[in-house]
Structure 1
Amino acid sequence: MNFGILVFNEVEELDFVGPWEMLTMWSKFADGPAPCLIVSQSPGPVRCSKGLSINPHVSFADCPPLDHLLVPGGQGTRREVDNPVLVDFVAQQARHCQAVLSVCTGAFVLHAAGLLSGKKATTHWGSLERLRALGDVTVVEERYVQDGKVWSSAGVSAGIDLMLAFIASVGGDEAAGKVQFGAEYYPSSVRYGGFEKHAQAPAYLRGTREG
């Protein structure tokens, strides 16, 4: 079982580093998938949203068929949804993937690849209305959501919750527990600044659920 994480210029760092950390801990502590590949369209460094530069393992041309593919978000998605090479790569890999996942605005790349039509999905709170405006996606305001083989999460840090839930689904609760414990990922319940009352706060943050 192999897992690929797509990256592109202006990808949001934590969108892919958070899931990467969970995935590699899964491999280390609980017999998770190996290898976990960072994939980009072309060889060479990728400059991320906040200035981090990374070196992907493989290009599209060298990437093997993947069992699982994760598409992160970031400002770069606004450009990449109109990149036919990248969108086709996602669509072609998805044909044989057991699961395709998105974090944040990576959902828009999945949509461009034809993977969200008629599905439930979520994205960063700042892009929920933009996702609704596409017209063929049932948008839910949760940290993460699964619809068949398609998983999506809210913004940035939510990708960690998504990945732990995915690990539990595939590898069982004990595997997810080992990863969570190894990562010491037990988020504090403290809320700073009262932003859970912000007009654009998603339902899960406001403590409500959509009917």
Structure 2
Amino acid sequence: MNFGILVFQQVEELDFVGPWEMLTMWSRHADGPQNCLIVSQSPGPVTCAKGLLINPHVSFADCPVLDYLLVPGGQGTRREVGNPVFVDFVADQAKNCRAVMSVCTGAFVLHAAGLLSGRKATTHWGSLERLRALGDVEVLEQRYVQDGMVWTSAGVSAGTDLMLAFIASEAGEEAAGKVQFGAEYYPSSTRYGGYENHAQAPAYIKNTRADP
């Protein structure tokens, strides 16, 4: 099984590092995908949104057929939605994927690739109205959303929750539990600064439950 995480210039770091941590723990400790890859359009370093430099494993030209694909977000998505090479890669790989996922504004890449029309989805709170404005997506204010083989999540840290939920769906509660325990990922329910009352706070922030 091949699991690819797509990166690009100005990708948001935690959008892909959080899911990567869960994914590789799944691979190593709970019989997850054997081949976990960071994929970029071209060879060479990628500069992330906060300045982190990374070296992807493969370029589009070298990438094998993927069984799973995750597209993170960040300011760079605003450029990539208009990049036909990038969008076509996502659309072509999706034809063979068991699941395609996005974190944050990666949802707009999925839409550009024809994968969100007529589906339920979510994105970063700051882009919920922009997603609604597309007109053919049912936007839900949840931490993550599954609609068939397409999974989307809210912003940045929400990708970690998406990946754990996906592991539970794909491999069962026991596998997800091993990953969660190994990562010691038990988020606090503490809210700081009263931002749960912000005018743009998505509905899930105001809920006391941890579910999407």
Q: Does 1:70 align with 2:65?
A: no
Partner residue in 2 for 1:2 = 2
What is residue 81 of structure 2 aligned with on the other side? 81
Helix, strand or coil for the counterpart of 2:152?
A: strand
Q: Which residue of 1 aligns with 2:199?
A: 199
Moved more, 200-209 or 64-73: 200-209
Where has structure 1 moved over 4 Å in runs of 4 or more?
Answer: none
Helix, strand or coil: the match of 1:163? helix
Could you say what secondary structure the match of 1:62 adopts?
Answer: coil
One-letter identity of the residue aligned with 1:188: S
Distance 2:173 2:207 in 1: 25
Paired residue secondary structure (1:49) = coil
Deviation at 1:163, TM superposition (A): 0.1
- What is the alpha-carbon distance in structure 2 between the residues aligned to residue 118 and residue 105 of structure 1? 18
Mapped partners of 1:160, 1:115: distance in 2: 21
**TM-score (structure 2 length as normaliser):** 0.97
Q: Which residue of 2 aligns with 1:143?
A: 143
| 2:11 matches 1:11 | yes
Give, as a single letter, the amino acid of the residue that structure 2 aligns with 1:79.
Answer: R
Aligned twin of 1:25: 25
Instruction: Give a deviation string over 1:37-91, Cα, whole Å, max 9, x none.
Output: 0000000000000000000000000000000000000000000000000000000
Q: Deviations over 1:145-202 (max 9, x none)?
A: 0000000000000000000000000110000000000000000111100000000000
**Which is further off, 106-115 or 29-38?**
29-38
> Can you give the 5+ residue segments of structure 1 that lack an aligned partner in the other structure?
none
Distance 2:34 2:138 in 1: 33
Structure-2 residue corresponding to 1:168? 168
Deviations, residues 86-112 of structure 1 (Å, cap 9, x unaligned): 000000000110000000000000000
- In 1: Cα distance, 2:2 partner to 2:171 partner: 14
1:115 is aligned with what amino acid?
Answer: L
How many residues in Structure 1 have an aligned counterpart in Structure 2? Answer: 209
CA distance in structure 2 between the partners assigned to 1:28 and 1:13 by the alignment? 22
TM-score, length basis structure 1: 0.98
- Match of 2:186? 186
Quote the Cα distance in structure 1 between the aligned partners of 2:171 and 2:179: 11
